[in-house]
Amino acid sequence: MQTKKIEIKGIKDGLLIKIGSGKWAKQEKALLEHINSQKDFFQGGRLALDVGNHILKAATLGALRDTLFDSDVKLWAILSDSPTTEKAAQALGLATRLTKPSPPQLRDRPSPAIRGEAALLVHRTFRSGQKVKHPSHIIILGDVNPGAEIIAGGSIIVWGHLRGVAHAGAEGDSKAVVCALDLSPTQLRIADRISVSPPGGKDVQPEVARLEDGQVVAHPWNQA
Amino acid sequence: MAAKIITITSGKGGVGKTTATANIGAALAKNGNKVACIDADIGLRNLDVVLGLENRIVYDLVDAVEGRCRLRQAMIRDKHIPGLFLIPSAQTRDKTAVSPSDMVRICDELRPDLDWILIDSPAGIERGFRNAIAPADEIIIITNPEISAVRDADRIIGLIEAEEKGPGQLIINRLDFKMVQQKNMISADDVVDLLAIELLGIVPEDKEVIISTNQGVPISTDDSSLAGRAFCNIARRLEGETVPFLDLEGSKGLLKRFTSIFGSGGN
């Protein structure tokens, strides 16, 4: 019986690809071909690899990690049934298990009187070169540094400094707002409008930016 | 003995990675440690020049990796400071000559006989950078008080965190206190505020550094130099000592913040 060569699954932390049994060289080739054939999909992605029973040395895993890196895919975990492979993966600083399963989702809907909307809550600082994109709202507990990008279908709330690029209402929602404790973005976009922070310093205070008559306008939080 | 492996990196070029590696290495060795400095900038070798050891190179890192020599043979002993060794990079090859797992292997082999291994990373975020950070126990990010360097440092910290090596410690190099006072340079506080990682040291701008670099004698061996003392303090902090930051005009917030807290409501 031939096992299916590649099985791809989306997980919380990127993608999980399961490698079938059969010669490793063949499987590896198939994997790389698959990734290269769908570059756009994999680019910038985080990849966990379930290698099953394959016994792999650190050199093999290291080489694979480097090859993947060249395609802009970050290999961060190796799942394996072989202790040798696990050890090799650990030597390379790769994780050997996926993070704890996320707790069961809250099934209870808020009472009909309170209509909640989905949002992505991220508890971290976004550094230069890091990016988050979400179809709904995005809430960030942390800073957004210059060179980082936050793109939301809805509104963006930053509990921290917003110094990077923020795009709220990325799919055209002109009612979206951007709030931050310190609203000093490199560039601020709401729907199809683009604005930049006025030059010169300002007092740091929480502000809300929204579209008013087609212009991006920021107000102090207590006057919004 | 089991050496601690520290990689010095920056993202941007020219901010002082090599100078810092040479000087911290020299300062650690001066304190009685056995230290190896590894130049991981394959193809752009220069740590040997800063240490004044260029004419002693017989074998290099790539020779050791590819088995043309034993690792010991690639280690060059410093002329002046006992306990300081250099493993030079190859000048005729490029970054692909070494892989991250090669670096891990080399460092594991060195670790038992040394106290510290310092790795001088190349600029950039590609293969050379990943070679340099692969074996690191700790990472030092060095930056200048310039927006461009700080931006790159921020990116590097993000990459290091993604590799689960982070967040690293920060050195701010070439701070000109006069310029900060005149508001022509961003202050150490601004840099630390943005990068939000632990500050390991501030090295003031000092023309003597250029002279010492050209002479191939690390400035941290010279007690009269301010930059040299800053590097020595960094080495002592790495060794676990609590060393106050140099009292330099303009570094408010580091020293003066304390005085303003403890002072009786002055200013």
Tokens describing residue A187: 């560039």
Q: What range defines the domain where residue B118 resides?
A: 4-262
Query: With 60 as the cut, is the pLDDT of residue B252 above it?
Result: no
Tokens describing residue B23: 């000087």
Q: Is A189 on the interface with B (CB under 8 A)?
A: no
Give the residue from chain A lying closest to B102, CA to CA. A59
Q: Which residues in chain A have Cβ-Cβ distances shorter than 8 Å to B154?
A: 127-128, 145-147
Tokens describing residue A66: 């480097």
Per-residue pLDDT of chain A (224 residues; tens, 9 = 90+): 445 567 888 887 788 888 888 888 888 888 888 888 888 888 888 888 888 888 888 888 888 888 888 888 888 889 888 888 888 888 888 888 886 555 555 555 556 667 778 899 999 999 999 999 999 999 999 999 999 999 999 999 999 999 999 999 999 999 999 999 999 999 999 999 999 888 776 778 999 999 999 999 999 988 86
Query: What domain count does chain B have?
Result: 1
Query: What is the distance, to the nearest Å, from the Cα of residue A20 to the centroid of all Cα atoms in its chain?
Result: 27
Q: Which residues in chain A have Cβ-Cβ distances shorter than 8 Å to B127?
A: 66
- Rounded to an integer, what distance in angstroms lies between the CA atom of residue B229 and that of residue B24? 10
Say which of A63, A76, A143 has its CB closest to residue B196.
Answer: A143
Give the pLDDT confidence of B202-218 residue by residue, as tens digits.
Answer: 999 999 999 999 999 99
What's residue B60's pLDDT? 95
Give the pLDDT confidence of B102-159 residue by residue, as tens digits.
Answer: 999 999 999 999 999 999 999 999 999 999 999 999 999 999 999 999 999 999 999 9
Burial class (CB in 10 A: 0-12, 13-18, 19+), B207: exposed
What's residue A88's pLDDT? 85
CATH number of the domain encompassing residue B12:
3.40.50.300
What's residue B265's pLDDT? 38
What b-and-e string marks burial along A128-157, b requiring 16 or more CB atoms within 10 Å of the CB? bbbebebeebbbbebbbbbbbbbbbbbbbb
Q: Which residue has the tokens 């990116």?
A: B155
| Predicted TM-score (pTM) of this structure | 0.70
**Residue B267 included in any domain:** no
Instruction: Report the DSSP pairing between strands B198-204 and A193-195.
Output: unpaired
- Rounded to an integer, what distance in angstroms lies between the CA atom of residue B257 and that of residue B15? 27
Cβ separation A93–B165 shorter than 8 A:
yes
Q: The complex's ipTM?
A: 0.72
Burial class (CB in 10 A: 0-12, 13-18, 19+), B255: middle
Cβ separation B101–A127 shorter than 8 A:
no
Instruction: Report the DSSP pairing between strands B35-39 and A193-195.
Output: unpaired
- Rounded to an integer, what distance in angstroms lies between the CA atom of residue B187 and that of residue B106? 39
Cβ separation A129–B100 shorter than 8 A:
no
In sequence order, what are the residues at sequence separation of 6 or more whose Cβ sits closer than 8 angstroms to the Cβ of residue A184?
A: A161, A162, A163, A197, A202
Q: A100-104, B47-51, B69-73, B235-239: which has the minimum mean pLDDT?
A: A100-104
% of residues, chain B, pLDDT over 70: 92
For A119-223, CATH gives 2.160.20.70
State the architecture of A6-91 in CATH terms: 2-Layer Sandwich (3.30)
For residue B247, what pLDDT band results from cuts at 50, 70 and 90?
low
Q: Is A149 on the interface with B (CB under 8 A)?
A: no
| Per-domain residue ranges of chain A | 6-91, 119-223
What's residue A81's pLDDT? 85
Q: Which residues in chain B have Cβ-Cβ distances shorter than 8 Å to A147?
A: 151, 154-155
Q: Which residues in chain B have Cβ-Cβ distances shorter than 8 Å to A163?
A: 194
